[in-house]
A and B are shown apart, each in its own frame.
Chain A
Amino acid sequence: MREFGYRRADDVTGAVALLDADPGARYLGGGTNLVDLMKTGVERPARLVDIRRLPLDGIELTDDGGLRIGATVTNSDLAAHPEVRRRCPALSQAVLAGASGQLRNMATVGGNLLQRTRCGYFADVTKPCNKREPGSGCPAIEGEHRNHAILGASEHCVAVHPSDMAVALSAFDAVVSYQTADGPGELPLADLYLPVSDTPHRETALPRGALITAVTLPAAPVAARSRYRKVRERASYAFAIGSVAAALEVHDGVVRDVRLAFGAVASRPWRAHAAERALVGSPADAEHFAAAADAELAAARPLPDNAYKVTLMRNLVVAVLTDLAQEAAR
């Protein structure tokens, strides 16, 4: 591991000023991703600015009944919070489906959003990888890509974003607040992650040195009946090979409102707008759920070894929406 300086930030202004002054500096949240990648040499910061003790660890109700979640709230505290569980159970479920009890105690909301891909070539500094070393190539396309992207990828990178939490946040139109030396700013989560294109090393639209301060979920009554379902290769403590965050409102057997987002299929959480459009106003039954999934997955461009994900996602969408429709009927 490269040697590095360490400073614990006392306040947001101080943290941002430290990053602004030193291009080699990085924020340290729980460290569960950054420290891991520093050990393997993928990340080589010259200085860490520890933000975990900043007073950004609260969860508040906003005036309109939404939720404002501080960036240093731990994944554990987020998942256990009664208002989160009441207003958006899918968010609590998504966080609980990720990592382990120990890791969720350490991991922060900001760090979870900005965690890097788990692509094996990215993690191995002896291999080429466009994301880690622009222009070096993407061995995953010809090599190991069972858990890589089927949507929105490019010939330069087919990695997926590994976060479960971000999938639930994207289904409910979360907004990311940040601070830079020039002042505060906001980005819808939908615009946080950049398209892959030929620049897979440029992952987010955050300005340089930006400190994420909070994530806000606008009020959405539909979120009160929501679920997160994750498929993985063992029962627990593993990353998703496919996941769905969903919410559904049904009246007289007809879909009134629906939210759908997919995980582990793209370089970012994938909001399924096409599926949502197909569903609103149609009968809430398995046939229409499947048709909606197909509408979204028509854009899928799988590789030889990850075509299974297309079927997996279709089945997941039908299963989750069927559960929600049954719950609505009770």
Chain B
Amino acid sequence: MHPSTSSTVTLNINGEKHQLSLDHRTTLLDALRERLDLTGTKKGCDQGQCGACTVLVDGRRTLACLQLAVAAEDQEITTIEGMARGGELHPVQQAFLELDGLQCGYCTPGQICSAVAVLEEHAAGWPSAATEDVRPEHGPPELTDEEIRERMSGNLCRCGAYVSIVRAVARAAAQQDESAKEEAA
């Protein structure tokens, strides 16, 4: 018996539900760009090697080019189009703008989605390959430039805007710490 090679799939993107009839071969990246006209998410390599297609799936950064759309059914997908809240840019977006964290801008949506997740991963105490000692008694690592570079290494930039990308992520992280302190006070 031949299995059916397409399905009707509900994708939950930026808080909105979309019902699509999808060939199972469709990646989340192609569903976003070709079927839903959400072209903010970029296609670089289409092989998991550049990070241009980074989106958040249930809050975790994910490569949309290796994610089958059908397998993302009912998960919360956030793309660059869904980052701003109530007309206000996300602090990471704001920092990229203010500190020129881009040149041509092609890698930028992926960089920003990735950076948003980096801040959350760091806040959750996750170590990275740059962390001197991963044992929990050493506490969470400080988000140094070296830590930021390692954590952002899955996002390549052909223009080489890395220096200002690292500054933008560091600025957004510092702002997040500030507002966390204000809230606590």
Q: Which residues of A contact B (CB under 8 A)?
A: 1, 3-8, 22, 28, 30-32, 35-36, 38-39, 46-48, 50, 52, 74, 76, 79-80, 82, 85-86, 89, 92-93, 96-97, 99-103, 105-106, 235-237
Contacts and interface: CB of A to CB of B under 8 A. Distances in A.
Given A3-B25, A5-B4, A79-B126, A32 B63 contact: yes
Interface residues of B, number: 46
Given A74-B60, A93-B134, A101-B118, 18 more contacts: A3-B24, A5-B5, A6-B24, A50-B71, A76-B126, A79-B126, A80-B124, A80-B125, A89-B133, A89-B134, A96-B134, A100-B154, A101-B61, A101-B117, A102-B114, A105-B61, A235-B150, A237-B154
A5 B22 CA distance: 12
A32 B3 contact: no
Contact of A236 (B61, B70, B150): B150
A93 to B, nearest CB: 6
A102 B62 contact: yes
A22 B134 CA distance: 43
Contact of A80 (B7, B23, B68, B127): B127
Given A35-B66, A105-B60, A86 B136 contact: yes
The prevalent SS among residues of B at the interface is loop
A8 to B, nearest CB: 8
A97 to B, nearest CB: 5
B127 A96 contact: yes
B127 A92 contact: yes
Nearest to A92: B134
16 contacts: A3-B5, A3-B23, A6-B71, A8-B73, A31-B71, A36-B47, A39-B47, A79-B127, A85-B135, A93-B129, A100-B154, A102-B154, A103-B48, A106-B66, A235-B150, A235-B153
